[in-house]
Amino acid sequence: ETVALCFHLVLLACTVGDVPLGGATIDPPSEPHLSRVVIPLRLREVVLQNTLCRSFTAMVSVGSPTQLFEVLVDTGSNRLWLPFETCRAPACLAHARYNPVESSTAQPLEPLHVKGGFASGELLGHVVRDEVCFGVHSESRICSTFDFLAADHESDFPFEHAQFDGILGLGLPSLSATAGATILEEFPAYGLRMLSLRLGSDGGELVFASDEENLHRSGILWVPLSPMANMDGYWIMQVTEVRMGGEQVHCARNLCMAAVDSGAGFMVGPLWGVYHIKEAFRSAGNCVDVERLPEIEFELQGAAGPVTL
Q: pLDDT tens digits for 74-86?
A: 998 888 999 999 9
| Candidates 2.40.70.10, 3.40.50.410, 2.30.30.30, 1.10.1750.10; CATH matching 227-308 | 2.40.70.10
Domain boundaries along the sequence of the chain: 33-214, 227-308
Instruction: Give the list of residues 6+ apart from residue 118 with CB closer than 8 angstroms, or none.
Output: 74, 77, 81, 158, 159, 167, 263
Residue 6 has pLDDT above 80, yes or no: no
Higher pLDDT, 120 or 12: 120
The predicted-structure confidence for 197-242, as pLDDT tens digits, reads as follows 888 888 888 988 888 888 766 667 788 888 888 777 889 988 888 8
pLDDT (0 to 100) of residue 296: 84
CB atoms within 10 A of CB 7: 19
Q: How far is CA 141 from CA 25, 40, 65, in A?
A: 22, 11, 16
Query: Rounded distance, CA 259 to CA 229, Å?
Result: 9
List, as one string, the DSSP characters of 87-149.
Answer: --SHHHHTS--B-GGG-TT-B-----EEEEEETTEEEEEEEEEEEEEE-TTSS--EEEEEEEE
- Domain 33-214 CATH class label: mainly beta
Residue 2 has pLDDT above 50, yes or no: no
Mean pLDDT of the chain: 79
The predicted-structure confidence for 103-125, as pLDDT tens digits, reads as follows 999 998 888 888 887 777 889 99
pLDDT (0 to 100) of residue 8: 47
Nearest Cα residue to 200 out of 41, 88, 35: 41
The predicted-structure confidence for 137-194, as pLDDT tens digits, reads as follows 666 788 989 899 999 999 998 898 889 999 999 988 875 555 667 888 888 888 888 8
Instruction: Give the list of residues 6+ apart from residue 30 with CB closer than 8 angstroms, or none.
Output: none
pLDDT (0 to 100) of residue 227: 82
Nearest Cα residue to 43 out of 29, 32, 54: 54
Instruction: Give the list of residues 6+ apart from residue 154 with CB closer than 8 angstroms, or none.
Output: 83, 87, 89, 91, 92, 121, 122, 123, 124, 160
Lowest mean pLDDT among 20-34, 63-77, 101-115, 283-297: 20-34
Residue 27 has pLDDT above 70, yes or no: no
